[in-house]
Amino acid sequence: MINTLTEKIKKLEAPIVVGLDPTMKFVPEHIKKQAFAEHGETMKGAAEAVWLFNKGIVDAVCDLVPAVKPQIAMYEQFGVEGVHAFQKTVSYCKEKGLVVIGDIKRGDIGSTSEAYAVGHLGQMQVGETMCRGFDEDFATVNPYLGSDGVKPFIEVCKKEKKGLFILVKTSNPSSGEFQDRLVLPEGSTDASKARPLYEIVGEKVAEWAADHMGDSYSYIGAVVGATYPEMGKVLRQIMPKSYILVPGYGAQGGRGKDLKHFFNEDGLGAIVNSSRGIIAAYQQEAYAKYGAENYADASRAAVIDMKEDIKEGVFC
Classify strands 16-20 and 270-274 as parallel, antiparallel or unpaired. parallel
Which candidate in 105, 151, 158, 204 is catalytic? 105
pLDDT tier at 252 (50, 70, 90 boundaries)?
A: low
pLDDT tier at 192 (50, 70, 90 boundaries)?
A: confident
Annotation says 105 is catalytic = yes
- The arithmetic mean of pLDDT across residues 186-203, rounded, is 89
CB 301 within 8 A of CB 290: yes
Digit-coded pLDDT (tens) for 259-274: 999 999 999 999 999 9
pLDDT tier at 302 (50, 70, 90 boundaries)?
A: very high
Q: How many residues does the chain have?
A: 316
Residue 253 has pLDDT above 80, yes or no: no
CATH label of the domain that carries residue 291? 3.20.20.70
pLDDT tier at 191 (50, 70, 90 boundaries)?
A: confident
Compute the distance between CA of residue 109 and CA of residue 219 in angstroms, rounded to an integer: 22
- The boundaries of the domain holding residue 135 are 2-315
Name which of 50, 54, 20 is nearest 35 in CA terms: 50
For residue 188, what pLDDT is reported?
82
Query: What are the angstrom distances between the C-alpha of 179 and each of 71, 168, 183, 258, 313?
Result: 22, 8, 10, 20, 27
How many structural domains are present in the chain? 1
| Amino acid at site 178 | F
For residue 13, what pLDDT is reported?
94
For residue 200, what pLDDT is reported?
95
The backbone torsions φ and ψ at residue 13, rounded to the nearest 5 degrees and listed phi first, read 55, 45
